[in-house]
Chains A and B, each alone.
Chain A
């Protein structure tokens, strides 16, 4: 008791200057704002470079001595024009969209039902089913694509969007189910019990009560699935062979890179246009995306 009384004044004195200096704006500038700016610069620079290159005419692109490479002096739409009208970019975009939307819808439906069964119907062994689905998330596409390729071939799905629509859920369902279980957990049981008392069937409860309350979870899972499907590469590379059926990431890498001379302008235009839809889509739902990424289900 007495010891604490003696020590207290000394500590307050020792602490106060440190606190104040920590809060001082100059120190904060060096220790917080400057590093954050560096991080943002490094993380964004490739996108800036992509954009700048897209709008550069070839004369500027390959001549750093006379042009400042960080800026475009005479912007041109030639690269974008070439991409849109001289390649099958529109059909690649359509394929990607089709596959991403179908795979997302399929995974969402399957995941909602599975998550509802695991979290709300609570049968014996439900936790094990949940665990098995979680473990399925840890099986990466890189070890599955060879056997899946032979399966896709035998099923006659090779080179069709259906092959991708059916295989993407293998990595989407585990994630979505896991996320939705978390959301369902946060919905009070009492609501469902009330509905049961009022004579609702279980499906009515799922449709009328649980799902509307889990809408944020559904949006998060949907966004995440959509961007994951948009990004998917190895299955699309292995299962699709004809040019017009390819998805954007695969097509840009395999169709635009030919021979030894790379058309950097066109490549960057392809990358930019391939990234924009998903970036725009994402910008509308950042918070949902973040909450799904972190698995945090705080509303």
Chain B
């Protein structure tokens, strides 16, 4: 096919007499390189190189303003005995696990609800995505205000309107309250993404399957577990990977609302890395904390790749 095309083009060319420039841009190898260069170049310089540099920095004692020397595993050793670091690891895992379970539970429910024939469907979808669109930091500030110790609207409703409690809740003052408050804010922000992605997955399931199941007398629970769940699984796996990845490496929400406090109880690994690295100036130690996240990310990536391959296989290679 391509051979005949080439011949045709060369046969036509003498009439046009193309310049050297045109001919250069018509040669396939040159074109491939020229097309890939901007994207691959940018990614190599600002993504791959810093990734390697970060790993190198983790093994040095670099501070802001002076270069560092190779110190081996010293940074990791000091982190090993660092209670604050282990606290951050614990909270990162806790935050990711709890927020992901809640996000997917509620998100799946919302997706199933939206999949019913609702009026104003597109308006509803637009409204639901709003928390995802608005800059996280700005909505986090709104949550901060809602979690205020004295003027929290949530406490106001619970105490003065409903009378369920006697005292205002100190949302951000005690470690566990602060931890749960942050998880709630993260879930609020994450539900739209999960719901809309899963809704797209739900809409690819052919209605004829449900009709067939109805005729066979399947209950709505059976229809969900036998049809919806298995067919949704591939897209669910991909969304799950992204959600876990971005929750695990979250920074903005925690930095905006608590900055790791009270008494370091809500530090995520990312916020701790930032605090030690940029304002604290210990770039080496900050990089070591950031690098400690990598094994987890690799796990998530492999998982995503397997899920993606399975999805391609299921849909005959015609996805994304």
The chain A residues found within 8 Å of chain B, CB to CB, are 11, 14-15, 18-19, 22, 28, 32-33, 35-36, 39-40, 42-44, 46-47, 49-50, 53, 61-62, 64, 69-70, 106, 109-111, 113-114, 116-118, 121, 123, 129, 133, 135-136, 138-151, 166-167, 169-170, 173-174, 177-178, 181-182, 193, 196-197, 199, 201-203, 227, 230-231, 233-234, 237-238, 248-250, 252-253, 264, 267-268, 270-271, 274-275, 278-279, 282-283, 286-287, 289-290, 293-297
Of the listed stretches B93-101, B192-200, B224-232, chain A binds: B192-200
Instruction: Output the least CB separation between A120 and chain B (Å).
Output: 9
Taking a contact as CB atoms under 8 Å apart, the answer to whether A233 and B252 are in contact is: yes
Taking a contact as CB atoms under 8 Å apart, the answer to whether B54 and A113 are in contact is: no
Taking a contact as CB atoms under 8 Å apart, the answer to whether B51 and A144 are in contact is: yes
Cβ proximity bits B42-76 to A, threshold 8 Å, 1 near / 0 not? 11001111110110010000100000000000000
Cβ proximity bits B102-145 to A, threshold 8 Å, 1 near / 0 not? 00001001100110101000101111111111111111011101
Taking a contact as CB atoms under 8 Å apart, the answer to whether A32 and B113 are in contact is: yes
Please report the C-alpha to C-alpha distance between residue A297 and residue B297 in the assembled complex, in whole angstroms. 28
**Nearest 7 pairs of A and B residues by beta carbon:** A294-B200, A117-B35, A114-B39, A142-B270, A110-B38, A140-B249, A147-B53
A-B contact pairs, 16 of them (CB 8 A): A15-B217, A32-B118, A46-B143, A50-B142, A50-B145, A61-B151, A144-B47, A170-B43, A170-B46, A174-B43, A202-B25, A230-B135, A237-B274, A250-B137, A289-B129, A290-B196
- Size band of the B side of the interface? 35 or more
Q: Interface residues of B: mostly helix, strand, loop or mixed?
A: helix
Verify if B205 is at the interface (C-beta below 8 Å from A).
Answer: no
> Which residues of A are found within 8 Å of B183, using beta-carbon distances?
none
Contacts beyond the supplied A69-B156, A138-B304, A248-B135: 8 A-B pairs with Cβ under 8 Å: A114-B38, A121-B28, A138-B300, A143-B249, A148-B50, A169-B46, A234-B252, A290-B200
Please report the C-alpha to C-alpha distance between residue A203 and residue B30 in the assembled complex, in whole angstroms. 12
Closest to A113 in B: B35
The chain B residues found within 8 Å of chain A, CB to CB, are 1, 5, 8-9, 12-13, 16, 18, 22, 25-26, 28-29, 31-32, 34-40, 42-43, 46-51, 53-54, 57, 62, 106, 109-110, 113-114, 116, 118, 122, 124-139, 141-143, 145-146, 148, 150-151, 153, 156, 160, 188, 191-193, 196-197, 199-200, 214-217, 219-220, 245-246, 249-252, 255-256, 269-270, 273-274, 277-278, 283, 286-287, 290-291, 293-294, 297, 300-301, 304, 319-320
